Amino acid sequence: MVVALVFLLWVVIGLSGYFNVANTSNNSSTQYSVSDSHFKIYDWWNFINSTNDSLIFNNQFPTNFESKTITLCVTQYANKSMFESELQSSDSSLDKIAVKNENITIERINVRFINFTNTNGTKTFQNYYFQKNSKYFSINVKYKTYPINELYDNAVKITVELIISTIN
């Protein structure tokens, strides 16, 4: 009984840190630019690095005794050919196993969603490819696979929705 109570307390404390970050009532966001486009992302994401066509963010989500890092990259492609080439290579990666590969709609935009895991199952990749305003984009998310991925998924979902709805 004591072991079960300690385990339950351990889970609640670990998850409470996550919910403080991902489900905060602080929905403030900051505008960023990638190539010739602008988008918003929630302030609980940390800007890490940029190239001419990509911006990289991460976030630490506490889970039990350690933090899990989610990395998110927003890319604008110079043209349709580069976009399709990247989509094709993502679709046929040899070191990843596709868990889901489907067309979805987010904020009235058609999105190609590819959910992968690496071959040893330790990392999850979520790739979103879409066209908006005659421009081509991807949002690539990477994190360690964890038994309670729906916690990460909610944070990723609301972030992806914000980016897609605000990118121009």
Band of residue 37 on the pLDDT scale cut at 50, 70, 90: very high
Q: Which fold has domain 2-166?
A: Protein Transport Mog1p; Chain A (3.40.1000)
Mean pLDDT of 82-108: 85
Share of the chain above pLDDT 90, in %: 51
Where along the chain do its domains lie? 2-166
Are residues 59 and 158 in contact, defined by beta-carbon separation less than 8 angstroms? no
Segment holding 15, helix H or strand E: helix 2-22
pLDDT at 89: 83
pTM for the model: 0.81
pLDDT at 147: 59
Beta strands in the chain (DSSP E): 29-34, 37-42, 46-50, 54-63, 66-77, 96-106, 109-118, 123-132, 135-144
CB 130, CB 8: distance < 8 Å: no
